[in-house]
Structure 1
Amino acid sequence: MSAAPRRAYTPGGKAAGLYRLREFGLAVPRFLVLPAETFDAALQELPVTPAGLAERADRLREFRLTGAEEAALGQVLAEWGFPQRPVVVRSSVADEDGATAAFAGLMDTFLNLTTLPAVLAAIGQCAASAYSARAVAYRQQKGLPLAARPAVIVQMQLAAEVSGVLFTSYPEYPLYQAIHAVRGFGEGLVGGHFNPQETYLRKTTGAVCGQRLTPQPEQYVASAAENGLQLAPVPAASQDSACLTKAQLAELHAIGERLERLTGRPQDLEFVVAESKMWVVQMRPITQAMPEVVVYDNSNIQESYCGVTTPLTFSFAQRAYATVYRQTMRVLGLPPTLVAAHETVVTQLLGLVQGRIYYHINHWYQGLLLLPSFSQNKADMERMMGLEEPVDLVQSRARSLPERLRMLPRLLLNLGRLLRAFQQLPKRIARFQADFQTHYARFYQLPLASLSGTELLTEKARLDAGLLEQWTTPIVNDFRVMMANGRALRQLRRSGLGHPEEFLHHYLSGDEDLPSAQIPRLMQALAQQVAATPGLQALLIELPADVHAQVAQLAPSFHTATQKFIQQYGDRAVGELKLETLTMRLEPRIFYQYLRNYLVGSAEPRSAPPSTTSLSASAEAELNQALLGHFWWQRRQTRKALTQLRDAIHAREALRLERTRLFGMYRVLYLAAGEQLVQTTGLATARDVFYLTEDEITSALQGQPAPGLREAVETRRAEFAGYAQAEVPARVTVPAPPIFAEEPAPDPESSPGQWRGTGCVPGIVKGESIVIRSPEDNLDVAGKIVCALRTDPGWAVLFPNCRAVAIEKGSALSHSVILLRELGIPTIINVPGLTRHLHSGQHLRFNGGSGELQVLALAEDEVVEADGMRVESGVAP
């Protein structure tokens, strides 16, 4: 024993943990350490042979302190209130509680010691346990030196009311903390005697994720007759109650998060509740490797890739995202070597989960680490992605002042580049669209059906180099949208608006020139021409399989107008970014199916969508009121942020149409490749090409098809058809979160026939529902409330004829919701389970303001005034 600084001695792993806990300011029972040097002399010159190890154990059992040391020990214990307050003797071997070797429970602990002779005897026995058979075997298994250097802790014993273990990261699922607790002394838990009460807390918030409150009929208490512990019944009133209060759970969560942050790794803590206080009695690293938690989320990307897709679409999308991401890094001025070092991240931004495309969220966050202001960019990205719950798997490292100063010139240069690119966007967008149109017109002049496999690959390379790899202008504008949206929300909060997201929904609804809205207006105009040709409307309502050919004979001028529309917008469709999707360009009958919705349900085609001017005007008045009393600078900055956001969104929607057309060109190209492979590899149909990957198609077109290509297609077709029957959540975590419920989880819809989501566009209507889960479903939406699993901009041709739209998943800034806002169609998003439990033909009461839907027994026709906007409601005849 010595009062000298502990670093001059070898206190052992367990004692080192206690010292650190005390340094961190946590409540630790008083203790003293007999360092390893105390016992070294007894072990000198003994070999590590089996006989030598046995001799070491014998000598330690016989070990005694000197008279002076015994006196010093007795004096310290007396200061603690000994023997009235018992003490504990615990091991602290030099390599115990290490990063790779815990020695958990391998050495002996002596509890409830109330006499000095008992303490002295326990010290020797505790040290000797470092050479017990189990401890030696453990060392052999771990490849550790067999010559252990034991130290011993003497610690004041607490009258434990509750004892437990806290894993600051649960090894089965590191996003949780795990707390196991029992009443009385912890031997009932660490010794495996009792089933503990289990509580799992979310690391980021401390919220309880799961509990098993096992009854506690017995506990270990200090023996009144002798050293050690004895069993005793838990009072009946406490046996079924929780061991730990909510306040104690919150305290443990805070302790765990703090210690993990301070130590830099997950910790295994032992704690005791005694004297109305939380004590920590041990800290050691968790030696078990923590699995990487990978989060896949499709809250936003499902808008573009709804439902189950195909291998070709996934491989193409994965490559496209990687290509665009590299361009993004170049736009931001990151060094090529830094971008190359993150190639694994870049090439795996997407994941395929049971046939569905998801964002690989970890990799998106890791990409953000390359940029300054990680926290702000992370929040902006989460908002744009529509993540319902943030993911805190990737954290930025706090940079030192010298590091920040070294980075400053590059950051300023990059910021200057980005701001300059923002200023140049109007000209850059015009040039980009002109260049795109040149490629677009040239492509559709190609005789694709007569090109060889090599020539098709040449045309693919031309699309790659000329368009996909020149996508910097849309990238810069997307960056402007993300930053402008975040900045606008922050400015609105500073201005005192307590609901900035809802405010933006209304404020942005005044842009009547939004490019996406032009398509339904053009279809509206075509619908109004139908009446000029006798018999044409009847033909379009009948919609025979050869309707396009019959229109050419019956109404040549209308057929020409149709062809012009398809040439310009024929790639717009539900699921338009999925290469396997049948579009108007590939199947003109789809155009007439869309057009048919404009011809049924009312006496004449709808002349215009409901006005959203009142929503915008109301938002403008609200903004004026909020800005009263603010300095002119704050007013100016808020309005500037809103203008920039509106302009950025307007430009983004225009550029999204070019993306749709680009994907349409690849779609046509790959179908031409499919025709080639039917002749050369034995594929059954050209559309089988969608069940191959890009690499497989390239090899086959080069004359090197993989063996069994046709069989692989059939296997994948069956596999992906099975995926279509599976229910997959919007967020998938690997490993999956554990399920702690003792009984099956209840159905999320506690009230049958009633749902609640997030209201985006206000309005109260009643009408017939039509449930759409995939593009192949019935699309006769005229006069109905559309209930969709997902939506994307291709739905633009359907929306004007809907009464309202409810979507299971979505973001308030998604493209489809932007369009619905512009059209003034009542909209609700994020309605869990809607398309599983609702059926087409049911009648609903729909409140786009509150986000509520309810199934009605009977249809009711009515007109409802809501939020200053007249909304027609009811079932069309």
Structure 2
Amino acid sequence: MLLLPHTPAAVRRTYTPGGKAAGLQKLQELGLPVPPFVVLPAETFEPRLQPLPTTPEGLAQRSNELRSFQLSASDAAALDHTLASWGFPERPVVVRSSVADEDGATAAFAGLMDSFLNLTTLPDVLAAIGACAASAYSERAVAYRQQKGLPLAARPAVVVQRQLTAEVSGVLFTTYPEYPLYEAIHVVRGFGEGLVGGHFDPQETYLSKATGAVCGQRQPLQPEQLVAAPSGSGLCLAPVPPNLQATECLTAEQLQNLHEAAQLLEKHMGHPQDVEFVVAEGKVWLVQARPITQPIPEVVVYDNSNIQESYCGVTTPLTFRFAQRAYATVYRQTMRVLGLPQHVIDGHETVVTQLLGLVQGRIYYHINHWYQGLLLLPSFRQNKEDMERMMGLEEPADVVQTRVRSLPERLRMLPRLLLNLSRLLRAFQQLPKQITRFQANFQTHYARFYQLTLPTLSGAELLAEKARLDAGLLQQWTTPIVNDFRVMMANGRALRQLRRSGLGHPEEFLHRYLSGDDTLPSAQMPRLMQQLAQQTAAHPNLRALILALPPDVHTQVGYLAPAFHASATEFIQQYGDRTVGELKLETRTMRLEPRIFYQYLRNYLVGPSSLSTALPGGGTPLSQSADADLAQALLGHSWWQRRQTRKALGQLRSAIHAREALRLERTRLFGMYRALYLAAGELLANTGGLATARDVFYLTEDEIDSALQPQKNAPVANYQPLVTLRKAEFAAYAQVEVPARVTVPAAPSFTAQPDLSSDASSVGHLRGTGCVAGVVEGEVLVIRGPEDNLDVAGKIVCALRTDPGWAVLFPNCRAVAIEKGSALSHSVILLRELGIPTIINVPRLTASLQSGQHVRFDGAAGELLVLAESE
């Protein structure tokens, strides 16, 4: 029996075409280019095989029977007629195996059965059919079956296909197992046996699965190829023409064709595919598609573009574990706000408890889990874009895709999704009252906590206070997280409205429009600090003391200027937890070490302030210019469009204002936990469990809990050896440079295409994203962490990252460049408010520049140029 191109589908379904033929049929059904073929199904050969056993002798008999197989006269005539329609014998054919369980999801049989190429006579074709079927019982094929635990009674089918004169042959993996965000394409010139047989070193190209863009290539010389033998069947070796040996085998258009085929196949096959193809007469033809049997690992993406703003650089085990627990606690509350049933919340526990990851001692977002959480909301794609913008991701990570659901599925899910959305919108409406209640509750706990005498508390009492903070504040954090959702969604909506209004560069517009809010805590801090600096003008001795900055400066100020000391103490009580790296529990803060407050104040005494003055009518020059641009852009638009645009902007401004106020409470909450853990460290140091109180930061929360509540009559545990090991481990991390995005598994190693735009002139010329316009020249101060020199007055500060603690430093900076940042981060909001020239996302900024160098800084263009000393 022959399954011919015109054989009805109903008839085809009654036969077994085998894995390879089934793949070819699927390619045809999808409209992909496939050379014509016919199939001899497994039922063609079964009469010869059924009476034979699967003993070693029986398997040998099966092979012999197939080798002597003769096609019936009618089938031979039908085959001859079909081949003639293809131009045979002038156009040769190929005979390939298609065993029933070949090319399956778990068993590929790659290269185990024989193929016969360049056949130009019917007798050769008929002989090849039997030999091809017999190869299903070759020694290697039988051994493979035994290894896989497959039945030894193979059911061979055979494909006869028109052979193309291959200019290029290749293999496409629609998902590259070593790095599943890529498609891999390996090619050689001539016939593909030179590639699949491992004879030649192929050219390699890796495409982004998301975009089809070339991510990397390796292009060794192609001096030889396999071509059709000029006389007889088979292939022979031939030189590649010299002008083609070093050139790319595939054109950009052919790469795009392969990418589109890969996308189509994965969508319809439901599994990554191993595809063989040839290029003939300039066209890409697919000649095989089978599942990739190698396990495809999950791609885990870690990104710290925005979170490093809060957790700069290398942290400690305690900070990471506490942050991980805090995020999980808040996320569970969010799911309850959305009204999700408990079984759904429980089902997301792995996601919730691993929203953060630790990479080389640095805290990263576990992006996969954040995306999976968004699947609980409608409009995944839109919310994904909004979240990526909020997180400051430099490029999206398409590791979690929204599944295309059928209409019945969507209708079943619609009520729940609408209910979730309505609950979220209702929570947005209730936010003003909820924020007031939240802050009142917070102040009650805050005031009570700092009335405690922590050094006098026992281990059990410290744990009780921690439980009180957990229950009273951390587990009641719903209001801030709902507002964060509001910021994310309001920012996306505002940008979409601005684009509809025709306003160019909407992100830059928002930078200006959102400036001018003097009531933000981050704006109030520097103004209060400036007022304190002005008070020293009438007290030269006080000013001199602060400039000298002795270790006990706060105590000396108390003797020298009691009234100023009281004002400074009040400032520290109000803002003492806000400092550079404030969410890292190990950070030394103004509350813990008042000398840090005077270090900040000193900047206001030695340099001019950059604090902007409000203009008549309110706002700043930046915000007023934005208002004018908006009015111009809205001219000619309908009343409804104007209203919706201004409404969206107003909602965004309100949400950001609330977010900044609530983040101050978050800073204070972390300050209370910091104080508790330091008290625990003092207690453990006094009892011999630790060498110093600050060693507590190298323990985890569980270890601290166990140390504070030891078992009855148990000796005091000595954690110092463990602390010593972890200190060494995290110190080593500080010497390693880690990119903002880390993927597991890591990207493959290959020689990428050279960047033709890079040359020697780029040395000393850095580029980033301009946020606040302004051109200045001056001295650079590089700051990588809170332990660095913070004398920023009059300097162009180049920082690895920034956070809210920088609020007291910014007014004295001439300009600020940030290696990693988000346009919606609170620090950039403040820089816009201050009108300080700012550039963010400057690659290798702090590695490329050194303190003391002079640069020309262009905030609009996003460029820094290192100046020669003579300039």
Structure 1 length-normalised TM: 0.96
> Which amino acid is 1:235 matched to?
P
Among 322, 335, 346, the residue aligned to 1:329: 335
Q: Which residue of 2 aligns with 1:824?
A: 835
Contact 2:371 2:400 in 1 (8 A): yes
Mean Cα displacement is larger for which, 431-440 or 607-616? 607-616
1:743 deviates by 11
1:279 deviates by 0.5
Aligned residues between the structures: 858
Contact 1:74 1:116 in 2 (8 A): yes
Q: Which residue of 2 aligns with 1:672?
A: 679
| 1:286 to 2:292 alignment | yes
Contact 2:167 2:190 in 1 (8 A): yes
Aligned with 2:297: secondary structure? coil
Aligned with 1:597: secondary structure? helix
1:417-465 CA-partner distances (Å, limit 9, x unpaired)? 2222222211111111111111000000011111110010000000000
Contact 2:707 2:717 in 1 (8 A): no
1:610 deviates by 8.4
Q: Which residue of 2 aligns with 1:724?
A: 734
Aligned with 1:579: secondary structure? coil
Aligned with 2:45: secondary structure? helix
1:63-113 CA-partner distances (Å, limit 9, x unpaired)? 001112211111111111111111111000000000000000100000011
| 1:698 to 2:737 alignment | no
Contact 2:613 2:620 in 1 (8 A): no
Aligned with 1:841: secondary structure? coil
Q: Which residue of 1 aligns with 2:476?
A: 470
Aligned with 1:97: secondary structure? coil
Aligned with 1:440: secondary structure? helix
Mean Cα displacement is larger for which, 331-340 or 778-787? 331-340
1:275 deviates by 2.1
Among 706, 722, 726, the residue aligned to 1:712: 722
1:397 deviates by 1.3
Q: Taking structure 1 as reference, are residues 637 and 203 closer, same or farther at Cα in structure 2, changes over 3 Å only?
A: same
1:292 deviates by 1.1
Q: Which residue of 1 aligns with 2:41?
A: 35
Q: Distance in 1 between matches of 2:258 and 2:158?
A: 27
1:718 deviates by 1.1
Contact 1:610 1:825 in 2 (8 A): no
Q: Which residue of 2 aligns with 1:788?
A: 799
Mean Cα displacement is larger for which, 850-859 or 540-549? 850-859
Q: Distance in 2 between matches of 1:661 and 1:531?
A: 31
1:815 deviates by 1.0
1:488-512 CA-partner distances (Å, limit 9, x unpaired)? 0011111112311111111111323
Q: Which residue of 1 aligns with 2:26?
A: 20
Contact 1:610 1:823 in 2 (8 A): no
Aligned with 1:169: secondary structure? coil
Please show how residues 97-136 of structure 1 align to structure 2 within 5 Å. Answer: 97-136=103-142
Aligned with 1:580: secondary structure? coil
Contact 2:698 2:727 in 1 (8 A): yes
Q: Which residue of 2 aligns with 1:738?
A: 748
Q: Which residue of 1 aligns with 2:54?
A: 48
1:708 deviates by 4.8
1:218-239 CA-partner distances (Å, limit 9, x unpaired)? 1111111111111111111111
Q: Which residue of 1 aligns with 2:768?
A: 757
Contact 1:678 1:686 in 2 (8 A): yes
Among 244, 247, 254, the residue aligned to 1:241: 247
| 1:855 to 2:866 alignment | yes
Q: Distance in 2 between matches of 1:606 and 1:14?
A: 72
Contact 2:166 2:191 in 1 (8 A): yes
Q: Taking structure 1 as reference, are residues 146 and 663 closer, same or farther at Cα in structure 2, changes over 3 Å only?
A: same
1:827 deviates by 0.4
Among 498, 504, 529, the residue aligned to 1:498: 504
> Which amino acid is 1:153 matched to?
V
Which consecutive residues of structure 1, in runs of 5 or more, have no partner in the other structure?
Answer: 861-877
Q: Distance in 2 between matches of 1:477 and 1:859?
A: 52
Q: Which residue of 2 aligns with 1:873?
A: none
Contact 1:221 1:229 in 2 (8 A): yes
| 1:613 to 2:611 alignment | no
Q: Which residue of 2 aligns with 1:258?
A: 264
Q: Distance in 2 between matches of 1:197 and 1:182?
A: 6
Q: Distance in 2 between matches of 1:290 and 1:546?
A: 60
Mean Cα displacement is larger for which, 65-74 or 125-134? 65-74
Contact 2:217 2:752 in 1 (8 A): no
Contact 1:767 1:859 in 2 (8 A): no
Among 225, 236, 244, the residue aligned to 2:231: 225
Please show how residues 184-195 of structure 1 align to structure 2 within 5 Å. Answer: 184-195=190-201
Q: Which residue of 2 aligns with 1:450?
A: 456
Q: Taking structure 1 as reference, are residues 512 and 607 closer, same or farther at Cα in structure 2, changes over 3 Å only?
A: closer
> Which amino acid is 1:194 matched to?
F
Q: Distance in 1 between matches of 2:515 and 2:859?
A: 15
Aligned with 1:759: secondary structure? strand
Please show how residues 470-869 of structure 1 align to structure 2 within 5 Å. Answer: 470-602=476-608, 608=612, 613-704=620-711, 708-741=718-751, 751-858=762-869
1:744 deviates by 11
Among 292, 309, 314, the residue aligned to 2:315: 309
Q: Which residue of 1 aligns with 2:83?
A: 77
Q: Which residue of 2 aligns with 1:872?
A: none
1:682 deviates by 2.8
1:13-49 CA-partner distances (Å, limit 9, x unpaired)? 0000000000000111110000000000000211100
Q: Distance in 2 between matches of 1:381 and 1:126?
A: 56
Contact 1:598 1:606 in 2 (8 A): no
Aligned with 1:177: secondary structure? strand
Q: Taking structure 1 as reference, are residues 740 and 51 closer, same or farther at Cα in structure 2, changes over 3 Å only?
A: same
Q: Distance in 1 between matches of 2:303 and 2:591?
A: 31
> Which amino acid is 2:22 matched to?
A
Aligned with 1:660: secondary structure? helix
1:748 deviates by 10
1:533 deviates by 2.3
1:156-181 CA-partner distances (Å, limit 9, x unpaired)? 11111111100001111011111111
> Which amino acid is 1:822 matched to?
E
| 1:441 to 2:447 alignment | yes
**RMSD between superposed Cα atoms in Å:** 1.6
> Which amino acid is 1:738 matched to?
P
> Which amino acid is 1:728 matched to?
V
1:791 deviates by 0.4
Aligned with 2:188: secondary structure? strand
> Which amino acid is 1:524 matched to?
Q
1:284 deviates by 0.3
> Which amino acid is 1:740 matched to?
F
Contact 2:580 2:805 in 1 (8 A): yes
Contact 2:607 2:793 in 1 (8 A): yes
Contact 2:174 2:262 in 1 (8 A): yes
Q: Distance in 2 between matches of 1:711 and 1:94?
A: 61
> Which amino acid is 1:257 matched to?
Q
Q: Taking structure 1 as reference, are residues 387 and 118 closer, same or farther at Cα in structure 2, changes over 3 Å only?
A: same
1:475 deviates by 1.1
1:266-305 CA-partner distances (Å, limit 9, x unpaired)? 0000001112211000000000001111110000000000
Q: Distance in 1 between matches of 2:256 and 2:107?
A: 30
| 1:147 to 2:153 alignment | yes
> Which amino acid is 1:852 matched to?
E
Q: Distance in 2 between matches of 1:343 and 1:829?
A: 35
Q: Which residue of 2 aligns with 1:360?
A: 366
Q: Which residue of 2 aligns with 1:866?
A: none
Q: Distance in 2 between matches of 1:707 and 1:253?
A: 59
